[in-house]
């Protein structure tokens, strides 16, 4: 049980992708405080391994970072979508490859004091050709195949920094 | 360069810990769109290794998750504080141990589409006794020493889920 029961909740702003809330929480008998948090969609990230043991990395522009980031394929889980379905969908949309086999690698909490959102990590194997379907905002995305050792080196050198990608690549390295 | 220059920025809400913004961005010549994002403090996470090769894990209640999470020590970087100073401060406050030696393990972006905030990861060694100084909200925090192998197993089994802790423990395992 959480030590702080929720007394009331106020929505501060409602956006298409980000909504902010302020909860009044009971800190102790008769003492309340506030907890600010945001609601964003859960995410998926996929380490997709091809027949030669190489994994797919995608590189794309990130608005807030003002630079290109190198990630494993993935994105937001849609409303009422299962994480595994989102992982299959995002992998095919971003790389044009379908997962014949998909195994869970774990679930992480990216920013647990600020949001309950989680990232669901997967290992995709037995890849088969599918249909590339990048979004308009992903027009500058590029696809790169790297050995797992090269991907781990990219994480260790700071070339991969997105939390889900870092976690998924390192977890895959321990698994494979 | 980002593909989307910022045309204007509107603050939607300003909190003590979380502020939300909506940017108007130029998607193409004459076409604008919006980007919602939140400002939260950068964080630090520290893998602190003792003389026996064990690392410090702290367990504490998390309000949004309504359960206890197991993490490596860390917390928010204060205004005008260097990440390394925040790492030393948080380690001592949460565990009562001071880092004689502190090496960077990397920097991750926890939720790069929603916030520019980053987590700075460190490896602390040559520990010396210091002063425990937990915050009131950390009254239920407990400290646990585990071998690095046990910590990696805890990550792989899903007992450690916070992104900075997952990344820091796995990066430390590759380093040591």
For A109-174, give the DSSP string. Answer: BSSTTT----EEEEEEEEEEE------GGGTT-EEEEEEHHHHHHHHHTTS--BHHHHHHHHHHHH
Residue A44: which of A93, A100, A96 has the closest Cα? A93
pLDDT at A135: 84
- Please check the confidence at residue B116 and state whether its pLDDT lies above 60: yes
A159 CB near a chain B CB, below 8 Å? Answer: no
Q: Which comes out higher in pLDDT, residue A1 or B74?
A: B74
pLDDT at A134: 87
Contacts with B, A 55-84, CB within 8 Å: 61-67, 69
Binned at pLDDT 50, 70 and 90, residue B139 comes out as confident
CB neighbours of residue A76 within 10 Å: 16
pLDDT at A1: 47
CA end-to-end distance (rounded Å), chain B? 37
Q: Which comes out higher in pLDDT, residue A55 or B133?
A: A55
Q: Do B106 and A13 touch (CB under 8 A)?
A: no
A7 CB near a chain B CB, below 8 Å? Answer: no
Query: What percentage of chain B has pLDDT greater than the value 90?
Result: 88
Binned at pLDDT 50, 70 and 90, residue B4 comes out as confident
Q: Which comes out higher in pLDDT, residue B112 or A30?
A: B112
Angle between helices B163-175 and A148-156 (to 10 degrees): 110
Q: Bridge partners of A39?
A: A19
Q: How far is Cα of residue A59 from the mean position of the Cα atoms in its chain? A: 14
Task: For A124-161, give one letter per residue: b (16+ CB within 10 A) or e.
Answer: beebeeeeeebeeeeeebeeebbebeebbebbbeeebb
pTM, whole model, 2 decimals? 0.96
Cα(B83)–Cα(B45) distance, rounded to whole angstroms? 10
Q: Do B106 and A15 touch (CB under 8 A)?
A: no
Q: Do A166 and B161 touch (CB under 8 A)?
A: no
Name, in order, each residue with C-beta under 8 angstroms of B149's C-beta and a sequence gap of 6 or more. Answer: none
- Please check the confidence at residue B134 and state whether its pLDDT lies above 90: no
Q: Give the tens place of pLDDT for each residue, A4-38.
A: 899 999 999 988 899 999 999 998 888 899 999 99
Beta pairing class for B19-28 and B6-14:
antiparallel
- Please check the confidence at residue B113 and state whether its pLDDT lies above 90: yes
* Chain B residues closer than 8 Å to A118 by CB: 161
* Chain B residues closer than 8 Å to A113 by CB: 17, 62-64
Cα(B24)–Cα(B34) distance, rounded to whole angstroms? 5
Q: Give the tens place of pLDDT for each residue, B21-73.
A: 999 999 888 889 999 999 999 999 999 999 999 999 999 999 999 999 999 99
Q: How far is Cα of residue B61 from the mean position of the Cα atoms in its chain? A: 16
Q: Which comes out higher in pLDDT, residue A101 or B14?
A: A101
Q: Do B156 and A174 touch (CB under 8 A)?
A: yes
Cα(B25)–Cα(B165) distance, rounded to whole angstroms? 34
- CA-CA distances (angstroms) from residue B11 to B40, B117, B143? 13, 17, 39
Which regions of chain A are under pLDDT 70? 1-2
Q: Which comes out higher in pLDDT, residue B1 or A41?
A: A41
Binned at pLDDT 50, 70 and 90, residue B80 comes out as very high
pLDDT at B1: 47
Instruction: Confirm if A57 and A144 have CB atoms less than 8 A apart.
Output: yes
Cα(B19)–Cα(A20) distance, rounded to whole angstroms? 8
Q: Do B38 and A20 touch (CB under 8 A)?
A: yes
Binned at pLDDT 50, 70 and 90, residue B2 comes out as low
């Amino acid at each position: 049980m959480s030590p702080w029961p929720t007394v009331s909740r106020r929505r501060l702003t409602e956006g298409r992708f980000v909504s902010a809330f302020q909860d009044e929480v009971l800190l102790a008998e008769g003492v309340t405080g506030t907890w600010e948090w945001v609601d964003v969609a859960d995410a998926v990230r996929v380490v997709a391994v091809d027949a030669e043991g190489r994994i797919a990395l995608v590189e794309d522009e990130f608005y807030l970072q003002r630079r290109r980031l190198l990630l494993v394929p993935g994105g937001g889980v849609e409303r009422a979508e299962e994480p595994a379905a989102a992982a299959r969908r995002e992998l095919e949309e971003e790389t044009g490859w379908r997962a014949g086999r998909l195994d869970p690698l774990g679930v992480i909490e990216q920013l647990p004091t600020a949001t309950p959102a989680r990232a669901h990590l997967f290992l995709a194997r037995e890849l088969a050709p599918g249909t590339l379907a990048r979004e308009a905002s992903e027009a500058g995305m590029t696809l790169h195949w790297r050995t797992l050792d090269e991907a781990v080196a990219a994480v260790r050198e700071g070339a991969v920094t997105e939390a889900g990608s870092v976690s998924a690549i390192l977890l895959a390295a321990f698994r494979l």
